[in-house]
Structure formats: structure tokens, C-alpha cells
């Protein structure tokens, strides 16, 4: 890339001037340019003054129209001046002015894209350059999950199945009462043969789902997401942005999962497990947990 003109340098920094002082301070600014000269130029920016600012005439010598907003035009000499939209159309000619506007907008868009790519690359480099350390509560969540994994498979699988079904309730079926039968008849419904009675609710079940378990997220998902970020470094901004977003999501999921695990491994939850069908079938009467000195799940 060659040496940038004042206009191009302005473009790369900021595309809009918002005071007359700022506009006039542009390097090579000319307040009074012959029409023939300005119509050879190209649009490199815009100006928009606040409504309280006085209106000022255009940079085209032959034009006496005053405005507060319009376009910054770079001349072939690399000096810059300005013209309002209507004046531009009038002096450049409708077709030429439209063409100038189009290439200005294209350049602006290309520049915005390049800036976005630069920003997203910077963020990706930062992510890739940072050592990923597990969140503070990760170790304890991981230990508790490992102990959970060693439960008798029938019990463990029945709890994991509830997580998969997103069913956190503990319920049993009982015969309907006379009142429930009468009530159904009164409403014109068929009398129930059994009633599902919810007696408890398990918190933090999602900590057990394979795809949202803390150990899976930390050991498999996050490293995989980082690899995608790495391999997207040479791609376009959208791909890299998407890779970073998915990495962020995985990190957030890990934090959520650790939080859920600590909700799951509580006395309150485990005391309720004695009501699970699997527990009854195994002849277990009570399920408790112990935190000290080492985390344990006690089945009696
Ligand atoms: Zn004008």
C-alpha cells in the first residue's frame, strides 16, 4: 500500500466531521474551489453539523448555497473540500454524483469489514494466548461427579434418565380418593384410575447431562472450540466471530454446569432419592451424602 493522502488518512480514522472547526482543520482543506476542479474529485467522508451550528456555503466557488451537512471531497491534488448533496448532484451531474456516492459507500463498507476482521482477530489472539484455567469450583464439581459415576448403574442411570427427560419431579402413583372421583364426574370427565402425586423436586439435574457435564465441557468441548478458533484465524470475520461466540458459549456453559452441580449435590436432593423406584428395587432405604473428609454418597 502506498502513502496515504490526507483524505485517505482521515477516512481510516473517522469518516465524519461534526464541527466546522474539525472540517477546516483537515489537512489540505480548501474552502473555495473552482467547480471544474471539484467535479474531478472523489467523496472520502461526510460532515454533519449540529442544528445550532450556522450554515455555511459549499466549497464550490460558483455555489452560494449554505448547508450544515454534506460530503467531503478529495481533489486530484489530494487537497480536500466539501459539497452538499444537492450541490453535488447539480455540479457533478446526476449520474457522476451517483457513481461517486456508490464508490464512497463501497469503500466505507469494505473499511468497516476490514476493521471488524481486525477487531475479531485481536480478540481471537487474546483468547488463544490465554491459558485456560478451570473456574474455582470446577475441582469440587468434578470430584462429586466422579463419585456419582460409581453409584450402582441402575440407580445412576435412572437419575441420568430424569435429567435427559428434563423431569426433575419425584412422584408416585396412588389410587384416587372418593372426592377426586366425584369431582371428575361433576366435571363430566372420566374418573381417574390412578393419580400421579409429586412429592419432590430435584435441583441441578442438568449437571448430569453428558453434553453439559463440567468435565466434558472442560476437557472436550472447550479445547475443541479453541481449535476451531485457531483454524478460523485465516478465515473471514464472520467465521472467526462465530468460532469465538461458540467458545464463549462453552465457557458460559461450564460455569453454569459447575453451579448446577453444586445445586445437585446437596443433602436435600439426595434425601429425596429414597423415593425413586430404582432405589426401592435395589433394597436401599436411605441415600445421603457426606462432604468431609471426602465427598461420599452413602447408600443404606
Ligand atoms: Zn453548494
- What pLDDT sits at residue 3? 45
Q: What is the pLDDT of residues 138-148, one digit of tens each?
A: 999 999 999 99
HEC-encoded secondary structure of the chain: CCCCCHHHHHHHHCCEECCHHHHHCCCCECCCECHHHHCCCEEEEEEECCCCCCCEECCECCCCCEECEEEEEECCCCCEEEECHHHHHHHHCHHHHHHHHHHHHHHHHHHHHHHHHHHHHHHHHHHHHCCCCCCCCHHHHHHHHHHHHCCCHHHHHHHHHHHHCCCCEEEEEECCCHHHHHHHHHCCCCCCCCEEEEEEECCCHHHHCHHHCHHHHHHHHHHHHHHHHHHCCCCCHHHHHHHHHHHHHHHHHHHHHHHHHHHHCCHHHHHHHHHCHHHHHCCCCCEEEECCCCCEEEEC
Q: How far is the CA of 20 from the centre of ligand 1 (A)?
A: 15
- What pLDDT sits at residue 237? 86
Q: What is the pLDDT of residues 241-278, one digit of tens each?
A: 999 999 999 999 999 999 999 999 999 999 999 989 89
Q: Cell 466422579 appears where? A: 146
Q: How far is the CA of 88 from the centre of ligand 1 (A)?
A: 7
Q: How far is the CA of 49 from the centre of ligand 1 (A)?
A: 15
Q: How far is the CA of 58 from the centre of ligand 1 (A)?
A: 4
- What pLDDT sits at residue 62? 87
pTM for this predicted structure: 0.72
Q: How far is the CA of 102 from the centre of ligand 1 (A)?
A: 20
What is the average per-residue pLDDT within 209-215? 95
Q: How far is the CA of 71 from the centre of ligand 1 (A)?
A: 11
Domain ranges within the chain, ordered by starting residue: 6-111, 138-168+203-299
Q: How far is the CA of 57 from the centre of ligand 1 (A)?
A: 6
Q: How far is the CA of 194 from the centre of ligand 1 (A)?
A: 86
Q: How far is the CA of 83 from the centre of ligand 1 (A)?
A: 5
Amino acid at each position: 500500500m502506498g502513502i496515504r493522502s490526507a483524505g485517505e488518512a482521515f477516512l481510516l480514522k473517522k469518516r465524519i466531521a461534526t464541527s466546522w472547526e474539525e472540517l477546516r482543520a483537515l489537512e489540505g482543506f480548501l474552502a473555495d474551489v473552482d467547480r471544474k476542479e471539484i467535479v474531478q474529485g472523489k467523496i472520502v467522508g461526510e460532515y454533519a453539523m449540529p442544528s445550532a451550528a450556522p450554515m455555511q456555503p459549499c466549497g464550490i466557488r460558483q455555489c452560494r448555497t449554505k448547508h450544515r451537512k454534506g460530503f467531503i471531497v478529495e481533489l486530484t491534488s489530494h487537497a480536500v473540500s466539501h459539497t452538499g448533496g444537492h450541490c453535488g448532484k447539480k455540479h457533478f451531474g446526476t449520474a457522476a454524483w451517483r457513481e461517486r456516492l456508490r464508490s464512497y459507500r463501497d469503500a466505507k463498507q469494505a473499511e468497516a469489514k476490514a476493521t471488524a476482521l481486525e477487531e475479531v482477530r485481536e480478540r481471537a489472539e487474546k483468547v488463544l494466548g490465554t491459558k485456560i484455567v478451570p473456574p474455582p469450583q470446577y475441582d469440587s464439581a468434578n470430584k462429586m461427579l466422579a463419585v456419582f459415576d460409581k453409584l450402582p448403574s441402575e440407580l445412576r442411570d435412572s437419575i441420568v434418565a430424569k435429567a435427559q427427560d428434563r423431569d426433575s419431579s419425584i412422584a408416585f402413583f396412588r389410587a384416587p380418593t372418593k372426592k377426586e372421583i366425584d369431582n371428575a364426574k361433576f366435571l363430566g370427565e372420566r374418573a381417574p384410575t390412578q393419580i400421579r402425586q409429586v412429592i419432590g423436586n430435584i435441583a441441578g439435574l442438568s449437571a448430569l447431562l453428558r453434553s453439559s457435564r463440567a468435565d466434558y465441557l472442560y476437557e472436550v468441548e472447550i479445547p475443541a472450540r479453541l481449535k476451531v478458533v485457531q483454524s478460523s484465524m485465516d478465515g473471514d470475520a464472520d467465521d472467526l466471530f462465530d468460532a469465538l461466540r461458540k467458545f464463549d458459549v462453552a465457557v458460559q456453559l461450564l460455569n453454569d454446569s459447575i453451579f448446577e452441580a453444586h445445586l445437585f449435590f446437596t443433602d436435600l436432593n439426595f434425601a429425596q432419592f429414597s423415593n425413586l423406584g430404582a432405589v426401592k428395587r435395589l433394597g436401599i432405604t436411605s441415600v445421603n451424602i457426606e462432604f468431609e473428609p471426602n465427598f461420599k454418597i452413602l447408600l443404606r
